[in-house]
Amino acid sequence: MWLYLAAVLAGLYLLRRWHRERQMVPRLSEKYVLITGCDSGFGNLLARQLDARGLRVLAACLTETGAVQLRAATSPRLQTVLLDVTSSQSIAAATAWVRERVGDRGLWGLVNNAGIAVPTAPNEWLTKDDFVKVLNVNLVGLIEVTLSLLPLVKQARGRVVNVASVMGRISFFGGGYCISKFGVEAFSDSLRLEMRSFGVKVSMIEPGYFKTVITSTENLEKNFLSLWEKVPEETKASYGENYLKEFLLALRKMQKRCNSNLTLVTGCMEHALTSCYPRTRYSAGWDAKLLYIPLSYLPSALTDTIFSWSYPKPAQKA
């Protein structure tokens, strides 16, 4: 009896959530949304997706080439601005540009999508600057963009959507990427609590592995090999050439399993911006839902054992 009751209650809860999440924000054609990192990948696809739905998209691109190509693929409604999230001057100029366009309506949505994945390698191969390069884009830049535009988002009682990662839940490779995504999760949590009283909703997107420019095999292999060349000879000897070969082989295998359907991610972003009841967290991809997020709740000793199975073995074990 209790089992049936639990099943009924679970069914009612899921039905209620399904009904709430289908309720859309009215007058979307009047809403302004700024998206960072629109040259390619998730940001580029989301900009085109929201433009097709009639929203007023403000697409921030790093390069003029990316901006020109995006404008050519969208309606005249979409506007572009050049933005380097590591430059305070660039952020200030983009903020002033956004303020001129949204006026008294404020900024309905801010999507912090800009990010990089390299340098990535075993931590011992990296320098402080290697970590800082990634953190400046993925975390510090995200924070500064958010703080600069937050008054406009509060004015519209709008949304902040931060792109984190399943690697913000569980970390099994070195470099600044996982660290930055853990930081995005922490910043988003604190911001969400602070903004509740202002009517601003904050959501996080936690994608699994997807095929994008920053995660391409060519990009990651080039990064990995260039870092290996800079590693001191003593360190190289401790890892061995075979470690490098095995790591590159594992990288290629991982790329073959990457999901090429980017709409699984941009669909979550769109829902976070257009639903009356957006989720706090969106997991995108079956690897995120069924593997990485469940693993993040297991004891560290167990996850260490699982991930170590796929790790290359060094020439000299400590």
For the annotated catalytic residues, the residue numbers are 177
- The DSSP secondary-structure symbol of 222 reads H
Report yes or no: 162 and 113 within 8 Å, Cβ to Cβ: no
**Helix, strand, coil percentages in the chain from 3-state DSSP, rounded to 5:** 60, 10, 30
CA distances from 142 to 136, 258, 318 (A): 8, 25, 38
CA distances from 51 to 85, 114, 256, 268 (A): 23, 19, 31, 16
DSSP-based three-state secondary structure for 113: coil
Where does the chain show beta strands of DSSP type E?
32-35, 56-61, 79-82, 109-112, 159-163, 201-207, 281-284
CA separation for the pair 113, 192 (Å, rounded): 17
CA separation for the pair 33, 56 (Å, rounded): 6
User: Pick from 64, 65, 28: which is nearest to 49 by CA?
Assistant: 28
**Tell me, what amino acid is at 198?**
F
Say how many CA atoms lie within 13 Å of 142 toward its Cβ.
Answer: 28
Name beta bridge partners: 9. Answer: none
> Which residue is associated with the tokens 């399904």?
18
CA separation for the pair 246, 133 (Å, rounded): 26
